[in-house]
A and B are shown apart, each in its own frame.
Chain A
Amino acid sequence: MASSKLQALWNHPAGPKTIHFWAPTFKWGITVANVADFTKPPEKLSYPQQIAVTCTGIIWSRYSLVVKPKNWNLFSVNVAMAGTGLYQLSRKIWHDQNPESQEVVA
Chain B
Amino acid sequence: MAAFRTFWNSPVGPKTTHFWGPIANFSFVIAGVADTQKPPDMISGNMTAVMCGYSGLFMRFAWVVQPRNYLLMACHASNETVQLYQLSRLASAHGYLPKKEEPAKK
Binding site for B on A (CB under 8 A): 18-20, 22-23, 26-27, 29-30, 32-34, 36-37, 40, 44, 46, 48-49, 51-53, 55-56, 58-60, 62-63, 66-69
Distance between Cα atoms of A46 and B30 in the complex (Å): 12
* Chain A residue contacts of B60, Cβ below 8 A: 19, 23
Given A19-B61, A56-B25, list of 15 further CB < 8 A pairs? A19-B57, A20-B65, A23-B57, A26-B53, A29-B53, A29-B54, A32-B50, A37-B47, A46-B44, A49-B44, A51-B31, A52-B28, A52-B30, A60-B21, A68-B66
- Report which of A20, A56, A63, A68 forms a contact with B27, defined as CB distance below 8 A: A56
Q: In the complex, what's the smallest C-beta–C-beta distance from B20 to chain A, in angstroms?
A: 6
Cβ contact within 8 Å between A66 and B17: yes
Cβ contact within 8 Å between A48 and B31: yes
Contact residues, B58-73 vs A (CB, 8 A): 58, 60-61, 64-67
Q: Interface extent on B, as a size class?
A: 20 to 34
* Chain A residue contacts of B27, Cβ below 8 A: 48, 51-52, 55-56
Cβ contact within 8 Å between B17 and A40: no
Distance between Cα atoms of A69 and B64 in the complex (Å): 10
Please encode chain B, from 16 to 54, with 1 for each CB lying within 8 Å of some chain A CB and 0 for all others.
111011001101101110110010011010110111011
* Chain B residue contacts of A40, Cβ below 8 A: 44
Binding site for A on B (CB under 8 A): 16-18, 20-21, 24-25, 27-28, 30-32, 34-35, 38, 41-42, 44, 46-47, 49-51, 53-54, 57-58, 60-61, 64-67
Cβ contact within 8 Å between B61 and A20: yes
Distance between Cα atoms of A52 and B69 in the complex (Å): 20
Q: Sorted from nearest, which 10 A-B pairs have the closest CB atoms?
A: A48-B31, A63-B21, A52-B27, A68-B66, A33-B46, A29-B50, A59-B24, A23-B61, A23-B57, A52-B31
- Report which of B34, B42, B47, B53 forms a contact with A34, defined as CB distance below 8 A: B47
